[in-house]
Chain A
Amino acid sequence: MRQSELRNLNVLATNIRIDTLKMLKRRGYGHLGGAFSIVELLAVLYGKQMKYDPKYPNWEERDRVVLSKGHAGPGLYSALANVGFFEKDLLNTLNEGGTNLPSHPDRIKTPGIDATTGSLGQGTSIAAGIATGFKLSQKDNYVYLIVGDGELNEGQCWEAFQYIAHFKLNNCIVIIDENKKQLDGTTEEILNPFDIQKKMEAFGFQTVKVKGNDIKAIDEAIDYCKSFNDCAVSIVLDSIKGQGVKFFEEMVANHSVKFNNDEINNETEQAIVNLKNLIKDGE
């Protein structure tokens, strides 16, 4: 990856993070932790790897994203706004009555959303179906399936993974965001996922593990996945819940954050200033 390209992706990631933070703070609450842990991934997808046209969100030849961990919707909305699917003003309406930006993605309401998700596990099968449709139609598109590590508690994920592996859907790039926390605690405490990479390999996936905040490594991992054409592929993102802002990374219960006290609000304001400075400093 060229330096200029890396810099642009870093800027995009930081903007996604800033806008997500602003959006949640404005609403007063929201799923911050899991949105932040996929910010770099979203920057690589929308900044480099994906085929799409924000002017034509329903363009038939586009690649698709299925955010099966639908609670990270605000992160995805921020990415979509930053690449031009809609005006940033819309971000201010998150979770308002009648909004087109519900907490969990809705393909009917929001331009750029390819699948309605939120009930965990279900996006995995939808992505598998999209990948099947692409194959049957002899389209060379990819579907990027983003799954949470807590979400792996759901049995449907494993039904879908068996299917994806059996049918060798190399066009369904399964990305597991291993941020190591779910709502009630760490994944290890709640329902130990053990070694996710080994599990995926045992399920028949070519699997690579990369740091969730390493844009270059994520990009290379996707290229690596695309080098296979006869087997299922997956990426395990070794990420941090709340990734990219130290204060939120260190917050214990950061699945959903309430912006209801001075400390959080001051830290948030400072984080936005710091993130903006990152961009000013050329990342």
Chain B
Amino acid sequence: MYALAKDNKVGKELRMCVVDTLQELMEKNDKVIVLEADLGIASGWTKIAKTNPDQFINVGIAEANMIGVAAGLNLTGYIPFVHTFGPFATRRVFDQVFLSGAYSKNTINIYGSDPGFTVGANGGTHTTWEDVALMRTIPNAVVCDPADQTQMEWIIKEFSKRKGINYVRGNRKGVRNVYEQGSTFEIGKGNILKEGSDVLMIASGQLVSDALIASERLEELGISCEVIDMFTVKPLDEELILKEVVNKKAIITIENHSITGGLGSAVAEVLSANKVYVNLNRIGVNERFDQVGTPDFLQKEFGLTIENIQKTIKELVR
């Protein structure tokens, strides 16, 4: 059960949500173990090294080895969580995640941080707009893009109970609250955050909050938008999409990701496979590499702003 946050203040840093949740899990289960690839200060996981030294391994700057070691630890009964920046947690180690992890039926929980525009000064070499696309191709993987701190904490706890490859991406810094603390979710189920009759907005990650703000501003212009938080891009809540698209003038997907292979693609696949012919617009990044700049600058540069969501919808329903 979930409820919307009473305010949309910026919440706790997502990395600290991960740290605190892992520490909480470790208190109860000595088989939970975390692996870092020399980004412990960046992720805050050095805190875990202090509180739970026997459940923390820094493998050094060797991500491929980190994934394999995680697989081996799982083979001896451990529940591994690994962290590195999103591109290194997915693109760089894709074959290790695929074979040493998924194909071998080993469980590895992966946190890839600072996707897309959230990367800031680390720039295009340190970020990914392809991670969801890649991870979505792994059979039976779970791919999550949480909207806020409450959802991130829930996801980490949920991952600790699941088998297989579980991937969560997220800003290391704080993002606006979407949910009341204590809200609970379901893997594979999207959440309707706002009802509306004209346009169906399907968003993921921290852009869910932007989608909500845009939808409220559009109400003032007489455009009624329904907003869905599709925090599990895989497995995708196809049923919800097919139900909510009925009688809508248009669908818009909103993601901090390439429009190739991510949430927008996933929604398009569902619509196409079910012969639903509807005006679909995917807001995301199209055929471009990321770059340096503040997250605000990058969000504008790549058209992922509240203003651009409003503009796109206005044009769609004109």
Residues of A within 8 A of B (CB): 64, 106-108, 114-116, 118-119, 121-134, 136-137, 139, 155-156, 159-160, 162-163, 166
* Chain A residue with the shortest CB-CB distance to B61: A159
* A129 and B60 contact, Cβ closer than 8 Å, known pairs A136-B33, A160-B68: no
Of the four ranges (under 10, 10 to 19, 20 to 34, 35 or more), the interface on chain B belongs to 20 to 34
Looking at the assembled complex, report how far the CB atom of A61 sits from the nearest CB atom of chain B, in whole angstroms. 11
Interface pairs (12), CB distance under 8 Å? A108-B104, A108-B105, A116-B104, A122-B68, A126-B104, A128-B69, A129-B71, A129-B72, A130-B72, A132-B73, A156-B65, A156-B68
Q: What separation, in Å, do the CA atoms of A113 and B75 have in the docked complex?
A: 12
- Interface residues in B251-298 by Cβ distance below 8 A to A read none
Q: What separation, in Å, do the CA atoms of A95 and B196 have in the docked complex?
A: 56
Q: Which residues of A lie under 8 Å from residue B99 when comparing CB positions?
A: 116, 118-119, 122
B77 adjacent to A137 (CB under 8 Å): yes
B65 adjacent to A128 (CB under 8 Å): yes
Looking at the assembled complex, report how far the CB atom of B30 sits from the nearest CB atom of chain A, in whole angstroms. 9
New A-B contacts (19) at CB < 8 Å, excluding given A125-B69, A129-B71? A115-B104, A116-B99, A119-B95, A122-B99, A125-B64, A125-B65, A126-B104, A128-B68, A129-B75, A130-B72, A130-B73, A130-B76, A132-B76, A133-B78, A136-B76, A156-B65, A160-B65, A162-B60, A163-B60
* A163 and B75 contact, Cβ closer than 8 Å, known pairs A118-B99, A122-B96, A125-B100: no
Looking at the assembled complex, report how far the CB atom of B290 sits from the nearest CB atom of chain A, in whole angstroms. 26
A107 adjacent to B104 (CB under 8 Å): yes
Q: What separation, in Å, do the CA atoms of A148 and B18 have in the docked complex?
A: 39
A159 adjacent to B64 (CB under 8 Å): yes
Q: Mark B69-92, 1 if CB is under 8 A from A, else 0.
A: 111111111100000000000000
Q: Mark B14-34, 1 if CB is under 8 A from A, else 0.
A: 000000000000000000010
A125 adjacent to B71 (CB under 8 Å): yes
Q: Which residues of B lie under 8 Å from residue A122 when comparing CB positions?
A: 64, 68, 95-96, 99-100
Q: What separation, in Å, do the CA atoms of A106 and B77 have in the docked complex?
A: 18
Q: Which residues of B lie under 8 Å from residue A114 when comparing CB positions?
A: 75
Q: What separation, in Å, do the CA atoms of A64 and B71 have in the docked complex?
A: 14
* Chain A residue with the shortest CB-CB distance to B71: A126
Q: Which residues of A lie under 8 Å from residue B74 when comparing CB positions?
A: 129
Looking at the assembled complex, report how far the CB atom of B117 sits from the nearest CB atom of chain A, in whole angstroms. 31
A159 adjacent to B95 (CB under 8 Å): no
Q: Which residues of A lie under 8 Å from residue B103 when comparing CB positions?
A: 116
- Interface residues in B29-83 by Cβ distance below 8 A to A read 33, 54, 57, 59-60, 62, 64-78
Looking at the assembled complex, report how far the CB atom of A64 sits from the nearest CB atom of chain B, in whole angstroms. 8
Q: Mark B166-203, 1 if CB is under 8 A from A, else 0.
A: 00000000000000000000000000000000000000
* Chain B residue with the shortest CB-CB distance to A64: B75
* A137 and B76 contact, Cβ closer than 8 Å, known pairs A132-B69, A162-B62: yes
Q: Which residues of A lie under 8 Å from residue B60 when comparing CB positions?
A: 162-163, 166
5 closest Cβ contacts across the A-B interface? Answer: A129-B72, A125-B68, A133-B76, A159-B65, A116-B104
B72 adjacent to A133 (CB under 8 Å): yes
* A132 and B68 contact, Cβ closer than 8 Å, known pairs A122-B96, A126-B100: no
Q: Which residues of A lie under 8 Å from residue B57 when comparing CB positions?
A: 132
Most chain-A Cβ atoms within 10 A of its Cβ — which of B33, B73, B100, B103?
B100
B75 adjacent to A130 (CB under 8 Å): yes
Q: Which residues of A lie under 8 Å from residue B65 when comparing CB positions?
A: 124-125, 128, 156, 159-160, 162-163
